[in-house]
């Protein structure tokens, strides 16, 4: 039976970690993810877990310690944000290339510079092609639930890839919400024990981890990573199905909110979906057929499924909480438009860069996006596909 509780997003992530009871947690503090290892360290100190907690000197060291632990055959977890993830950058690629199913709680924050400690998705987008599975969480419940599912996904023998569980810094990480927790014993039963097939401390099978991978082999190994990422999609769906059978909470590759009969829709990730849902409810009361596609699984990107879900619409807006600075739109916009093109689904699509550095995105601003989409439907014209939402401009 679920336990009703009130927790912040960081507390929810730390509580999930406590219930999983990993072998190793290595971490270095950085706002706004600091509370996750802070809460977890109290669980260690109070004897609630028997995890080896490693307080390291940097985020690079935190990921290095997790890599060493996983390579040795242990289950390892960590947490970070923004510049901390940037400092891990070298080891992020090594973790995925070594096929180590590390679980990382990423509390999304703007990457310097200039220095900013508030929320956007520039940290996650900076490593989107590093070979990590990436799940996004609208609220505290989803951050908790995604963390409970993470090991089952990452450790699957057809996957064996590290995974990031993302949530919005301060917006969910420090906000307290009602949440349904599961019993510790039930969590341990669902997650299961970790029994890797190959690991350094197995004296019956001497292996090397991280050797030089020259041109004769690296190409094939990268192709194997790509195939594992493709396989992760079915594994995510299967684990989510088993999670729903256990808890009653449904998860897919994405959530469709009033999308089936919608004419115009927004595509977004994380907490912005909550604001968008409220706007949709208001617009529906006015007779506007608005909808939402909230992406949960960003890597592997469910291109075919996204294209099918959006194919019946008359206009779509993709919201990116990070700017790729490429003069061709944000990362999510590029993934969506590419998927639509490959699937031969022709729908007018515009991109909005929004919320950079923690800029508030209000229901009024989301409403303007839907108004813009209605204008596109009425006129059949897109004057500029690359737009900003909530950007202050100098008066001329």
Predicted confidence at residue 394, as pLDDT, reads: 61
HEC sequence for the chain: CCEEEEEEHHHHHHHHHHHHCCCEEEECCCCCCCHHHHHHHHHHHCCCCCCEEEECCCHHHHHHHHHHHHHHCCCEEEEECHHHHHHCHHHHHHHHHCCCCCEEEEEECCCCCCCCCCCCCHHHHHCCCCCCEEEECCCHHHHHHHHHHHHHHHCCCCCCCCEEEEEECCCCCCCEEEEEECCHHHHHHHHCCCCCCCCCCCCCCCCCCCCCCCCCCHHHHHHHHHHHHHHHHHHHHHHHHHHHHHHCCCCCCEEEECCCCCCEEEEEECCHHHHHHHHHHHHHHCCCCEEEEEECEEECCCHHHHHHHHCCCCEEEEEECCCCCCCCCCHHHHHHHHHHHHCCCCCCEEEEEECHHHCCCCHHHHHHHHHHHHHHHHHCCCCCCEEEECCCCCCC
End-to-end CA separation in angstroms for the chain: 61
Model confidence pLDDT, tens digit, residues 159-181: 999 999 999 999 999 999 999 99
In the structure, what pLDDT confidence band is assigned to residue 1 with cuts at 50, 70 and 90? confident
- Give the whole-angstrom CA distance, residue 53 versus residue 270: 29
Q: pTM of the full predicted structure? A: 0.97
Model confidence pLDDT, tens digit, residues 105-130: 999 999 998 999 999 999 999 999 99
C-alpha closest to that of 371 among 290, 256, 294? 290
254-389 and 3-247 share a CATH fold: yes
Whether residue 131 is predicted with pLDDT greater than 90 in this model: the reply is yes
In the structure, what pLDDT confidence band is assigned to residue 73 with cuts at 50, 70 and 90? very high
pLDDT above 70 as % of the chain = 99
Predicted confidence at residue 50, as pLDDT, reads: 97
Q: What is the total residue count of the chain?
A: 396
Contact 362, 355 (CB under 8 A): no
- Give the whole-angstrom CA distance, residue 48 versus residue 15: 11
- Give the whole-angstrom CA distance, residue 191 versus residue 193: 7
Span 63-82, mean pLDDT?
Answer: 98
- Give the whole-angstrom CA distance, residue 95 versus residue 127: 12
Predicted confidence at residue 396, as pLDDT, reads: 45
In the structure, what pLDDT confidence band is assigned to residue 270 with cuts at 50, 70 and 90? very high
Whether residue 295 is predicted with pLDDT greater than 50 in this model: the reply is yes
Model confidence pLDDT, tens digit, residues 216-257: 999 999 999 999 999 999 999 999 999 999 999 999 999 999
Q: What fold is seen in the domain 254-389?
A: Rossmann fold (3.40.50)
Whether residue 90 is predicted with pLDDT greater than 70 in this model: the reply is yes
**Mean pLDDT taken over the chain:** 97
Strand order through the sheet with 133-136: 52-55, 24-27, 76-80, 103-108, 163-168, 133-136, 297-299
Domain 3-247 CATH superfamily:
Thiamin diphosphate (ThDP)-binding fold, Pyr/PP domains (3.40.50.970)
Whether residue 268 is predicted with pLDDT greater than 80 in this model: the reply is yes
Predicted confidence at residue 393, as pLDDT, reads: 82
> Of 4-8, 137-141, 209-213, 357-361, which range is least confident?
209-213
Domain residues of the chain, as ranges? 3-247, 254-389
In the structure, what pLDDT confidence band is assigned to residue 395 with cuts at 50, 70 and 90? low
Place of tokens 């990480």: 173
Q: Phi and psi dihedrals of 267, rounded to 5?
A: -115, 125
């Amino acid at each position: 039976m679920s336990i009703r509780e009130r927790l912040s997003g960081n507390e929810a992530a730390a509580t999930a970690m406590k219930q999983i009871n990993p072998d190793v947690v290595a971490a270095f503090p950085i706002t706004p993810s600091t509370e996750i290892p802070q809460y977890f360290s109290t669980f260690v100190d109070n004897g609630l877990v028997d995890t080896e907690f490693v307080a390291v000197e940097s985020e690079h060291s935190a990921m290095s310690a997790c890599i060493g632990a996983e390579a040795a055959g242990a289950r390892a977890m960590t947490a970070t944000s923004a510049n901390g993830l940037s400092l891990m950058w070298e080891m992020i690629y090594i973790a995925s290339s070594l096929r180590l199913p590390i679980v990382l709680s990423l509390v999304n924050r703007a990457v310097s510079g200039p220095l900013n400690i508030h929320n956007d998705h520039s940290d996650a987008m900076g490593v989107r092609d590093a070979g990590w599975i990436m799940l996004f969480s609208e609220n505290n419940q989803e951050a908790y639930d995604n963390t409970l599912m993470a090991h089952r996904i990452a450790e699957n023998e057809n996957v064996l890839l590290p995974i990031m569980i993302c949530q919005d810094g301060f917006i969910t990480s420090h906000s307290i919400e009602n949440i349904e927790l599961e019993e510790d014993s039930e969590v341990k039963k669902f997650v299961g024990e970790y029994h890797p097939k190959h690991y350094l401390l197995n004296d019956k099978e001497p292996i090397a981890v991280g050797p030089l991978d020259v041109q004769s082999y690296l190409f094939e190994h990268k192709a194997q990573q790509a195939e594992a990422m493709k396989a992760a999609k079915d594994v995510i769906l299967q684990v989510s199905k088993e999670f729903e059978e256990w808890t009653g909470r449904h998860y897919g590759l994405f959530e469709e909110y009033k999308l089936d009969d919608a004419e115009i829709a927004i595509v977004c990730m994380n907490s912005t979906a909550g604001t968008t849902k409220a706007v949709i409810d208001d617009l529906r009361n006015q007779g506007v057929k608005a909808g939402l596609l909230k992406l949960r699984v960003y890597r592997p990107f469910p291109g075919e499924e996204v294209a099918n879900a959006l194919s019946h619409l008359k206009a779509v807006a993709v919201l990116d909480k990070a700017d790729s600075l490429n003069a061709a739109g944000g990362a999510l916009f590029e993934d969506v438009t590419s998927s639509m093109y490959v699937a031969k689904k022709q729908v007018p699509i515009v991109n909005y860069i929004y919320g950079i550095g923690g800029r508030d995105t209000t229901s009024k601003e989301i409403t303007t996006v839907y108004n813009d989409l209605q204008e596109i439907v009425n006129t059949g014209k897109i004057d500029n596909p690359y737009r900003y939402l909530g950007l202050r401009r100098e008066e001329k």
